[in-house]
Chains A and B, each alone.
Chain A
Amino acid sequence: MRTGSSRISPKGGTWTGHAPGTGLEALLGQAARGEADAFEAVCRQIAAPVFGTVRAVVRDRSQSEEVAQEVLIEVWRAASRFDARRGSAMAWVTMIAHRRAVDRVRSEHRSAERELRAASHAVPYDDVTETVLASLDAERVRRCLGSLTDLQRQAVTLAYYRGYTYRQVAALLEVAAGTVSTRMRDGLIRLRDCLEVER
């Protein structure tokens, strides 16, 4: 069984790894038993990545705040469903955050695919992505994204930071959907290997 910190490569020093027992996994376990103090500690660790992820996708600040708060409450509500054998606590939390953010965006833009087809062909390697990737903490992620092919990187970042579906990405990049899905997978595998996260 891994410890709370062995998952994270030493090179990934910007990742907020914690000693076993005080780590996010342990705190989530305590929160699942209804301990409010543990949940507060969880919130302190996850609020910034949750809010940042949601804001990248949702954009609107007040809506992002609303969604981020929903995510924190969902983490409390579903804490007992976190299973450390299936991945890290941060992966579980950010998955909830990202899923909820894209669900919010897609419920508002059901016709986004049509809009996208009509939209400019310029690929918006947009301001949020730039800001995000310029931050010091993101340096390692930025370098690893840089090791991807252009199409892999665009597919991954448009999906993750803009909340586009792979079909929307395909329309935007004027590439076959099947190609985009393959590039997303290859790109993530390469990113995973570059970041040396545990499989």
Chain B
Amino acid sequence: MRPGRPEPHTLAGAYALDALAGTDRARFERHLTRCEQCALEIRGLCEATARLAAAAACEPPPGLTERALAAAARTRQLPPAAPRDSAPWPARPAAITGSAGPGYRAAGPRWRGWVPRLALAAAAAATAVAVFLGVAAGTAAHRAGEQQLYAHAIAAVLTAPDATMLSGRVTTGGAATIVMSRRDRALVFAAAGLRPLPSSECYELWLMGPGGDRPAGMLPDPGQGMTGPVIASGLTAGDRLALTIEPAGGAPHPGATMILVIAL
């Protein structure tokens, strides 16, 4: 034990009071995964802090519940935690650090893989957002109303608290980037450097998963550099995003050759 650093166990009270910050909190949470005794103790202490909370109860502002209900109707719920998750209070929220804002960490093991990706992608995503929005503003300017709606839908995905960026190489040339939100069950796709196609062909996006293969939209003609953004919605768990080249006008089912596959 280094001097000046309290024995981890004595921090149980401070933890139950949320009086640990930063590395103190992280260190104690690591200790907690190995210390069943601490976890038990904290459960008891949290019943005491719950009473402190109840003692602080005061009349909530009018409309609070109504607004929460309205927001809940738009908010996808987390699936149950996997049984192997034995961490105390798995749904205990922790703030996402960095530019992702004051949202919660996506709790639970199924989401674990998303968290580092989100962290890594955070800075890049900010750039991507700017690029996407710039493109959105530049295309289809003659259809202002429609374009505005489309831009809104795209912005909603890009700014979702769980927005995650993924990218992949297109085998026929070019690179694709997506920003997806599981909460909104949607993703925004954009590509750079796609090979121009003859007028008899087009690029088509697909969502492929346990729920079957669904067309997810056709890409506009690859112009100068960027293609997209295109929004695809209706994501389900286990989906992959695929890109194919199809006859102009699109196809009901994806052709045999996937020129891009990204696991979502």
Residues of A within 8 A of B (CB): 7, 12, 14-16, 32, 34, 36, 39-40, 43-44, 47-53, 55-56, 61, 65, 68-70, 72-74, 76-83, 86-88, 90-92, 94-100, 102-104, 106-107, 132-133, 135, 137-138, 141-142, 156, 159-161, 163-167, 169, 177-178, 180-189, 191-192, 195, 197-199
State in angstroms the CA–CA spacing of A49 and B53 once bound together.
Answer: 6
Kindly state the separation between the CA atoms of A76 and B24 in the bound complex, as whole angstroms. 29
Which of B15-23, B114-122, B145-153, B171-179 contacts its partner? B15-23
Q: Is the CB of A81 within 8 A of B90?
A: yes
Q: How many residues of B contact A (CB 8 A)?
A: 61
Inter-subunit contact A106/B21 (CB<8 Å): yes
A133 to B55 alpha-carbon distance, docked (Å): 7
Grouping DSSP codes into helix (H, G, I), strand (E, B) and loop, the A interface class, with mixed when no group exceeds half, is helix
B93 pairs with A74, CB closer than 8 A: yes
Name B residues whose Cβ lies closer than 8 Å to a Cβ of A.
Answer: 4, 6, 10-14, 16-21, 24, 40, 43-61, 64-65, 67-69, 71-73, 75-81, 88-95, 102, 104, 107-108
Nearest B-chain residue to A161, judged by Cβ: B56
Total A-B residue contacts, Cβ distance less than 8 Å: 261
Contacting residues, chain A, for B77 (C-beta < 8 A): 32, 34, 76-80
Given contacts A78-B91, A100-B93, contact A36 B69 (CB under 8 A): yes
Shortest beta-carbon distance from B55 to chain A in Å: 4
B52 close to A141 (CB less than 8 A): yes
Pairs of residues from A and B, 6 with the lowest C-beta to C-beta distance, nearest first: A185-B13, A81-B91, A138-B55, A184-B13, A94-B53, A72-B68
